[in-house]
Structure 1
Amino acid sequence: MAEFTLKQLEYFVAAVQAGSLAGAARRCHVSHAGIAHGLNELERACGTPLLVRRKAKGVVPTALGHAMLPLARNILRDAAGVELLLQSNPGELFGELSVGCTLALSPALLPAIASGFAELHPKVELIFREASGGEVLQLVRDGQVDAGLAFRRQVPPDLEYVSLRPIRVKAALPRSHPLASRPSISLRELRDEHAITPDGPALEAMLAVMREAGVEPRIRWTLSSPETIRAMVARGFGYSLLYVFPEESRHDDSPVVAVPVQDQLPGNALVQVLPPLRRHVAKVDKLAEFLRGDVVGELIG
């Protein structure tokens, strides 16, 4: 019987997915030499090449490599299931957990995870990757993070996700705004005011929400950073629409107030996006459990 390791199978799957040894090295967080050595050992155990290495053109699987790919994926998934079984009963979690998070969500979610989740699972080493929505999804697709946190509307059909909780859009207003003390507002009440919008796909999402309510926003500025948008709102330069606010936004002395929007708008949700090859399953599931809890619920509302 051929003798190979799970790590070698992980390198093989990563090389096929990335199309190169360099790409596989980035996905697996090891050196190029380490990937090459692992694949050489796997092919030696199998007695035949699994990849065709083309200089400056990456790698492609051989006929046997194509046949072996789904089997390797199944073995790795089963191994992840064994990890879950062993860790969950009695199951103290340990090791690394890498989390990708969109810029719109990170100011609220990452501090909550760094404190609340870390308190529940002190032996888990958290690694955070903060990026745009599209970049986070690519990190997930490439297997560079164990889970990605994003909005449901951002996730394409080829990625698996777990819904964590529904979220409502809120108007970000300066505390001095006449509508800031209201329990909720209609978007039509903001139609004559300046809007400060995010850029990229988030801008299209905001425009869709406004137009669904019959309002064409008067855009003053389009900015990349959610923190900059909140700072501009705090100074009274306009309003914005956001789904998530940091914890300090709930304090009475916060310069920005989150007011729920009463319009009937298309729903959205906070989701945990899963890579094609799941790793550290128990920790990922526990992260989802934490994000469904009351601490995050107060942030998202």
Structure 2
Amino acid sequence: MPLRYTLRQLEYFVAVGETGSIAAASQRVNVSSPSISAGISQLEQELGLRLFVRHHAQGLSPTPAGLKIIAEAREVLQKAAGLRDLAGDLSGFVRGPLAVGCLSTFAQVLLPGLRRGFVETYSEVRISQTEADQPELFSLLRQARIDLALTYDLSLPRDLVFDSLIEMPPLVALAEHHPLAAKSEVTVDELAPHPMVLLDLPLSTDYFLSFFTRAGLHANVAERTRDMAVMRSLVANGFGYSIVNMRPNRNVAPDGTPMRFIPLTGTDSVLRLGLLSTRGVKSTRLHGAFVQFARNWVKGQSARVFGSP
């Protein structure tokens, strides 16, 4: 007798197993909670196994049998995705779903426009996006929850592959009335005595502070924030300078206060923006098309997004 479960039910099952709740799984796969709950119940009935232990007001946890089947279900879903990719390669069409992650510090500047341009060119592609910090992007790639990540070449592990798109030298963000604002470029020695607004994110913090430690100096960190927009407003309102690798297309903070962006010289710490993927995973026609499109799109946007101050 043939089994009567679907790939969709397996997708719901894996999402619940990884998130620990039907509500969180609902958000991940963008399907209503009742639909996921019904799919799990149907799968349990079809397999004749109890896959989850239901905890009152505390979510679900997989049973021992459920844990084993989650691992097998992931493989089934990956093979099904491989068939879809193979069909696209054989047909010559660029189509299908693509999950793209992006470093949260610049997702609002780059990813929406890149997505729009790609789907306008390839109308049969459906892109979903996730914003995260650098370690989270590594984890999402390893879990196969995203296909590619748009990020910097910062502290990259060996099991991931980086395809560089553009170099991004460091810039100093300053208020218009800052003592260094009239200069055409700034050195670390000139910055050291002044208060700093540190963009305090995983890996990024060490990168920004490394400019000073390598010069035998200490940064005068006066403010810390994990939010790029908050950092810009603090800088524009005179709470200190900051260091960035991407400038907005307008020299104003989110609250409308003017600011300046000046090259930081005397350092070789240039970051590269690129696409990160998992080593050993076969590149599909869809992935290759996105990488090539992103490379051309970034070059076309260089004056607006990466232009000199």
Alignment of 1:215-226 (within 5 A): 215-226=217-228
Identify the structure with bigger relative contact order (alpha carbons < 8 Å, sequence gap 6+): 1
Instruction: Output the amino acid matched with 1:77.
Output: Q
Distance 1:200 1:112, change over 3 A: same
Contact persistence 2:168–2:273 (CA under 8 A): no
Aligned counterpart, 1:259 = 263
Residue pair 1:210, 1:216 contacting (<8 A) in 2 also:
yes
Against the structure 1 CA distance between its residues 66 and 223, is the aligned structure 2 distance closer, same or farther, given a 3 Å change threshold?
A: closer
Q: Does 1:172 align with 2:177?
A: no
- 1:14-73 Cα distance to aligned partner (Å, 9 max, x none): 222223333333322222221222223223333x2151323325131343x344333322
Q: Give the direction of change, closer, same or farther, for the CA distance of 1:245–1:112 in structure 2 (3 Å limit).
A: farther
- In the alignment, the residues of structure 2 paired with residue 31 and residue 81 of structure 1 have an alpha-carbon distance, to the nearest angstrom, of 27
Structure 1 residues 293 and 17, CA, compared in 2 at 3 Å: closer, same or farther? same
CA distance in 1, matches of 2:224, 2:117: 33
Q: Would the alpha carbon gap of residues 235 and 181 (structure 1) be closer, same or farther in structure 2, given more than 3 Å must change?
A: farther
Deviation at 1:78, TM superposition (A): 1.4
SS of the residue corresponding to residue 14 of structure 2 reads helix
2:248 is matched with 246
CA 1:258 to 1:25, structure 2 compared with 1: closer, same or farther past 3 Å?
same
Q: Normalising to structure 2: TM-score of the pair?
A: 0.70
Specify the alignment match of 2:254 in structure 1.
none
Contact preservation (8 Å) 1:50, 1:62: no
Counterpart amino acid of residue 37 in structure 2: A
Give the Cα separation in 2 of the matches to 1:115 and 1:66: 38
**Paired residues, number:** 285
Cα deviation for residue 148 of structure 1 reads 4.5
- Which of 208, 216, 222 is equivalent to 1:206? 208
Task: Tell me how far 1:217 sits from its aligned partner.
Answer: 1.5
- Displacement of 1:295 in angstroms is 1.8
Per-residue CA shift, 1:226-284, capped at 9, x if unaligned? 234335545666432112223456xxxx953341543244x755455669xx9xx7655
Q: 1:69 to 1:103 in 2, by over 3 A?
A: closer
Q: Residues 141-188 of structure 1, C-alpha deviation per residue, up to 9 Å, x if partnerless?
A: 88876654444547789xx75423275441224588467534xx5422
* 5+ residue gaps, structure 1: none
Partner of 1:59: 61
When normalised by structure 1's length, the TM-score is: 0.72
- In the alignment, structure 2 segments of 5+ residues that lack a partner are 252-257
Structure 1 equivalent of residue 292 of structure 2: 289
Q: Does 1:110 align with 2:114?
A: no
Work out whether residues 102 and 149 of structure 2, in 8 Å CA contact, stay in contact via their aligned partners in 1: yes
Q: Counterparts of 2:6 and 2:36 in 1: how far apart (Å)?
A: 13
Matching of residues 6-17 of structure 1 within 5 Å = 6-17=7-18
Distance 2:239 2:104 in 1: 21
**Aligned-pair CA distance for 1:111:** 4.7
Secondary structure of 1:292's counterpart equals: helix
Q: In structure 1, what is the Cα distance between the partners aligned to 2:220 and 2:294? A: 35
Deviation at 1:198, TM superposition (A): 1.5
Distance 2:28 2:277 in 1: 15
